[in-house]
Amino acid sequence: MPREVRERQMLDAAVEVFARRGYRAASMDEIAELAGASKPLVYLYLNSKEELFSACIRREAESLIQEIQAGVEPGDSAERRLWCGLRAFFAHTAEHPDGWAVLSCQARIHGEPFALVVAELRQRIVDLVTRLIAECAQPDGGRKPLSAREVSGLAHALVGAAESLAGWANHRTGAVPSARETAATLMNMAWVGLENLTGGRRWPPAAAV
Amino acid sequence: MPREVRERQMLDAAVEVFARRGYRAASMDEIAELAGASKPLVYLYLNSKEELFSACIRREAESLIQEIQAGVEPGDSAERRLWCGLRAFFAHTAEHPDGWAVLSCQARIHGEPFALVVAELRQRIVDLVTRLIAECAQPDGGRKPLSAREVSGLAHALVGAAESLAGWANHRTGAVPSARETAATLMNMAWVGLENLTGGRRWPPAAAV
Amino acid sequence: MPREVRERQMLDAAVEVFARRGYRAASMDEIAELAGASKPLVYLYLNSKEELFSACIRREAESLIQEIQAGVEPGDSAERRLWCGLRAFFAHTAEHPDGWAVLSCQARIHGEPFALVVAELRQRIVDLVTRLIAECAQPDGGRKPLSAREVSGLAHALVGAAESLAGWANHRTGAVPSARETAATLMNMAWVGLENLTGGRRWPPAAAV
Amino acid sequence: MPREVRERQMLDAAVEVFARRGYRAASMDEIAELAGASKPLVYLYLNSKEELFSACIRREAESLIQEIQAGVEPGDSAERRLWCGLRAFFAHTAEHPDGWAVLSCQARIHGEPFALVVAELRQRIVDLVTRLIAECAQPDGGRKPLSAREVSGLAHALVGAAESLAGWANHRTGAVPSARETAATLMNMAWVGLENLTGGRRWPPAAAV
DNA sequence: CATGAATGAGGGTTCATTCAT
DNA sequence: TATGAATGAACCCTCATTCAT
């Protein structure tokens, strides 16, 4: 069996096991067995548990980011780009639940040597959204414009909401929501607010608090 | 030293170590040493690593939920209750970063035997929000009302956004945002949308997509 | 069982196994079993294979050097000091064949991280002899005195001869030579030559070569 | 590439790696790579790590012994034969440091299955010297003649001294001593003593001890 | 109440070796 | 002749957990 094929099988198995157990609890024995190969072969191709995990993270993140970018037309309005991006995001996470589990479950790991890789990839997704928000957040009137910190906070909030919804959609019992439906839920909640901010209109409306 | 005090020291130490290393990578040795007690004593009081972890999760979650509930006046409007609840949430997570790290980092763990405990506690927080949204989501007009599934999705989105913002606020470099500011960011993004939904007004406005 | 006792048992077992197999081929399992303890205990007390080996080397070398120094009277003539030192050396190596095997078999190891420890201890023995030779190598007449390099070479030769003889005595079949006899063999071979050199008389006597 | 050439390349590589790492720490991978051949080819030609090591030992020892014998004129006096043999020995070990490192470093290995091969080859060198000493050790006077055991001891001492000097010469920092100089050092130390013994004159001169 | 002493079980990693081509 | 692909076995090390005191 050619090396390339074997290597993909190993990564597939690794993603599945890492998703099921988490990084530390996953054992190379289980991964090798699931990949239908011997442990030394896994080491020959992937070098170490750490590198194997990094390779998984990279592959899954790359694949996710690429699909999001493929789903978005650069020329479209911010509203439409967010809508399309979210649909692509939820479609991908629904189709690759293990990959998504690895990305999201280990996303906040501390102390492990690959923490940087994970953090960096999460940051790339946040950056996508940050740019989207920042770009359209150019208040037309005389209101106070959004600060960089505000934009960053909004991006993190939006990404967190999306992450949480992806997990919710994946683990629902009963009828699984479509990507379209899940994306609509998030647009429902967040879009009007974002649009308002674009015009410098903030919560609360004056005397509310 | 009375048992109660010792036990609290142990839980404190455990929370700190679990936050720093994650469940699997945390060692009972390190916890015992940090607690200033011998390992057998830890076992005498807390029985096992698993139970110790469960105790941590329970204590931290209880403390968080209680503080949220304490910050909310039952008679207030939904808007005000959400606003107060979020402030309490961000205040608590900022004051107990280790506790929050344990809750959020391990929140989606699979395969470990205590996964149920963690999931259950996260669910209680989601339920708080679910009730809040459901209660005010009684469309006054003839529009299509929110389904239970829609409400559940919104609650998960809101909780995810809050979780992500808490992490963002805790790990910011430079000036740390206040709980008030972080809560305002989330209200900014989500409140108008939620309010619209209350009235049955959904995204997109008809022909937008 | 008190720690001190256990630790000595472990070192004894380790010396025996390292002597029998060499560093790499020795397994911690075998050492632990021979010590009558579990492997984790060995690690608890001695930390790692490398440190265990270093500890063995240090203990055996210290013991050997001390016995040699104890056997020599500082005020004696060089001849008598050499004679007594050699007897002590051969007596010790005969009584601790495993310790001696570890010291001598691994003495020239390269590439392992403890190579320095081994080399340093061997050097201390060579230095003992070097000082002895140097001290009495003060030619009384007008002949060319011994250079530092000559002295160093002679010391290495003498130490090598002693090492080899120790191995020879230990592995002889049949009657084992006494330390006295072995030391006499070496004195027989080397003393007249060394004494001559002391007076600046070198080999060859003029036209011999 | 003809088999003979390949085989020599493999042995060269093996000698280098065994010298650098020792038997156990040397890996067939490293040897194959250094030889510029694939691992299965190494196995095809040399069968196993053990046989490969034996072949190295044999080749290097044969080469050393042959050069010593080539340097000695059978008809010469014992003194001259020893002198020439030592010069040849030190010349060869200086020219083939890796070969010599393998021979001497592994010379006293126990427990490995090839220990016999190594021991046998060392014995052949000892035998050369033994014959030389024995041959001329025919006391002319009425003194007590040398016993076989005495001769054997002396031979081991002389060989050990030579081994040690070879290592000393190879690992000196600064100016490397010539083979002639190193051989002279050993003759300086040992020849007068050996010559005396030939005449039955032993150390100590009666009342010395 | 408190601990020093001790271990069974399991994980990551390496290596000599073989087979199908 | 030559090799890419593959593995059984073993080794070092760690950790949660338990007794005897």
Which of the two residues, D186 and B113, has the higher pLDDT score? D186
How high is the pLDDT of residue D209?
58
The answer to whether C20 CB is within 7 Å of strand F is: no
Does the beta-carbon distance from C22 to D112 stay under 8 Å? yes
How high is the pLDDT of residue C137?
66
In the block, residue with structure tokens 């008190």: C2
Q: Which of A34, A154, A188 to mutate to test the interface with B (most CBs of B within 10 A)?
A: A188
How high is the pLDDT of residue C159?
93
Distances (CA, A) of D103 to C54, C100, D88, D114: 24, 20, 16, 12
Whether D192 shows a pLDDT value over 70: the answer reads: yes
Instruction: Give the integer Cα–Cα distance in Å for C50 and A40.
Output: 25
Does the beta-carbon distance from B185 to A154 stay under 8 Å? yes
**Token digits of residue D186:** 């050993």
How high is the pLDDT of residue D206?
54
How high is the pLDDT of residue D36?
93
Q: Which residues of chain B have pLDDT under 70?
A: 137-143, 205-209
Mean pLDDT of C128-149: 75
Q: What percent of chain A has pLDDT over 90?
A: 56
- The helix/strand/coil state of C103 is helix
Whether D202 shows a pLDDT value over 60: the answer reads: yes
* Per-residue pLDDT reduced to its tens digit, B147-185: 888 899 999 999 999 999 999 998 888 888 999 999 999
CA dihedral C57, C58, C61, C66 (to 10 degrees): -160
Give the model's confidence band at C58: pLDDT under 50 very low, under 70 low, under 90 confident, else very high.
very high
Whether C138 shows a pLDDT value over 80: the answer reads: no
How high is the pLDDT of residue A78?
85
The answer to whether A3 CB is within 7 Å of strand F is: yes
Distances (CA, A) of A74 to A63, A68, A123, D126: 19, 12, 20, 85
How far is the alpha carbon of A2 from chain B, nearest alpha carbon, in Å? Answer: 33
Does the beta-carbon distance from A189 to B193 stay under 8 Å? yes
CB atoms within 10 A of CB C14: 27
- Averaged confidence pLDDT in chain D: 88
**Token digits of residue D46:** 């040399």
How high is the pLDDT of residue B2?
84
Whole-number Å distance, CA C115 to C1' F8?
Answer: 32
Closest CA to C157 of A119, D90, A24: D90
Does the beta-carbon distance from B159 to A164 stay under 8 Å? yes
Least confident of A90-104, A113-127, A170-184, D71-85: A113-127
Asked whether A61 and A103 are in contact (CB, 8 A), the reply is yes
In the block, residue with structure tokens 């106070």: A144
- The helix/strand/coil state of C51 is helix
Domains in chain D (CATH in brackets) are 1-47 (1.10.10.60), 60-198 (1.10.357.10)
Mean pLDDT of D167-177: 88
What is the DSSP secondary structure assignment for residue A109, as one 8-state letter?
Answer: -
Whole-number Å distance, CA B114 to C1' E3?
Answer: 29
Whether D1 shows a pLDDT value over 90: the answer reads: no
Distances (CA, A) of B200 to B82, B144, B188, B204: 19, 6, 20, 12
Give the model's confidence band at A54: pLDDT under 50 very low, under 70 low, under 90 confident, else very high.
very high
Instruction: Give the integer Cα–Cα distance in Å for B64 and C129.
Output: 74
The answer to whether A29 CB is within 7 Å of strand E is: yes
Alpha helices in chain D (DSSP H): 3-21, 28-35, 39-46, 49-71, 78-95, 97-105, 115-136, 148-171, 179-198
Instruction: Give the integer Cα–Cα distance in Å for C43 and D26.
Output: 26
Mean pLDDT of D150-163: 94
Mean pLDDT of C115-128: 83
Nearest DNA or RNA nucleotide to D50 (CA to C1'): E16
Whether C170 shows a pLDDT value over 70: the answer reads: yes
Closest CA to B162 of B136, B119, B125, B110: B125
Closest CA to C111 of A111, B110, D16: D16
Instruction: Give the integer Cα–Cα distance in Å for A165 and A176.
Output: 12
Give the model's confidence band at A140: pLDDT under 50 very low, under 70 low, under 90 confident, else very high.
low
Residue nearest to nucleotide F6 (CA to C1'): A41
Of A66-80, A117-131, B105-119, where does the model show the most confidence? A66-80
Least confident of A12-16, A120-124, A156-160, C188-192: A120-124
How high is the pLDDT of residue C141?
57
Does the beta-carbon distance from B112 to A25 stay under 8 Å? yes
How far is the alpha carbon of B12 from chain A, nearest alpha carbon, in Å? Answer: 18
Diameter over CA atoms, chain A: 70
Q: Which of residues 22-81 of C touch strand E (CB under 7 A)?
A: 37-41, 44
Instruction: Give the integer Cα–Cα distance in Å for D172 and D166.
Output: 10
**Token digits of residue C28:** 């911690």
| C-contacting residues in D 27-46 (Cβ below 8 Å) | none
Mean pLDDT of A14-31: 94
Which of the two residues, A18 and D147, has the higher pLDDT score? A18
Closest CB to B157 among A105, A153, A165:
A165
Mean pLDDT of C96-114: 82
How high is the pLDDT of residue C107?
73
In the block, residue with structure tokens 């390339």: A4
A147 touches chain B (CB under 8 A): no
| A-contacting residues in B 157-186 (Cβ below 8 Å) | 157-165, 167-169, 177, 182, 184-186
Q: What percent of chain D has pLDDT over 90?
A: 56
Closest residue in C to D171 (Cα) is: C108
Q: Which of residues 2-31 of D touch strand F (CB under 7 A)?
A: 3, 6
* Per-residue pLDDT reduced to its tens digit, A99-112: 998 988 877 777 67
Nearest DNA or RNA nucleotide to A43 (CA to C1'): E13
Closest residue in B to A192 (Cα) is: B193
Asked whether A209 and B183 are in contact (CB, 8 A), the reply is no
Mean pLDDT of C169-184: 90
